[in-house]
Amino acid sequence: MRQHVNPLSKNFFEIDPIPPLSEVFENPNLPIHLDIGSASGDFLFELSFKNKNWNYIGIEIREKLVINANLKMKNREYKNLYFSFGNVNNFFDHTKNKPLINSITSISLNFPDPWFKKKHHKRRVIQPKFVNFLSNSMQKSSLIFIKTDVKELFKYMELTILESTKFKKLDNKDFLLNESFNPNKVQSNREKYVLLNQFEIYESIYIKI
């Protein structure tokens, strides 16, 4: 059973800063991809194993999942992967995390929690304040990938991102799969489930201009 946590709970206001990249990655100069809501981390374990020319960071609000992912890290050698626990909406408030966002090449939000009820929309990860922060800190040409099986959530995320004039939707013809963080089209656990059940997937890529 999946457990939801309320991201607005005061338990998630404090968040540890990510250590300097030179302490986290073997090669801190590689492009960095950030996966928001990385859950068990399976998606990033596979990506980091297949793409040694990228560094990957997962942020997840359910602490137990991050503890388990970090235990798995100890058993094997992953030199291009890091998991952080906390609410991503508070993550960038930490001044020590600010340099990190400047170094990020791309961000993915795979099947974020939909929070269907209108009164719960403020718990969604994509919020105007968060997009505003990204638009002021991400580098030009960096990318945001969103994917969901909930049409209403997709429209909400698209609208919120495009309300910032600093992002525009990327045309498929301009997207270079081989140069992306996921050239082999690795699927997240939720994506595998959605495909198995033949639900529709709504997805888009936005580029910082």
Ligand X SMILES: C[S@@+](CC[C@H](N)C(=O)[O-])C[C@H]1O[C@@H](n2cnc3c(N)ncnc32)[C@H](O)[C@@H]1O
Give me the residues that bind ligand X (CB under 6 A), please.
7, 36-37, 39, 59-62, 87-89, 110-113, 125, 188-191
d(CA 166, CA 67): 36
93 is catalytic: no
d(CA 145, CA 33): 11
To ligand X, the closest distance from the beta carbon of 40 in angstroms equals 8
Q: Between 14 and 26, name the residue whose CB sits nearer to ligand X.
A: 14
Q: Between 123 and 208, name the residue whose CB sits nearer to ligand X.
A: 123
Q: Which residues contact 141 (CB under 8 A, 6 or more apart)?
A: 207, 208
One of 16, 35, 93, 113 is an active-site residue; which one? 113
To ligand X, the closest distance from the beta carbon of 124 in angstroms equals 8
Query: From edge to edge, which strands make up the β-sheet containing 55-60?
Result: 81-85, 55-60, 32-36, 104-110, 143-148, 202-208, 167-169
To ligand X, the closest distance from the beta carbon of 137 in angstroms equals 17
Active site residues: 113
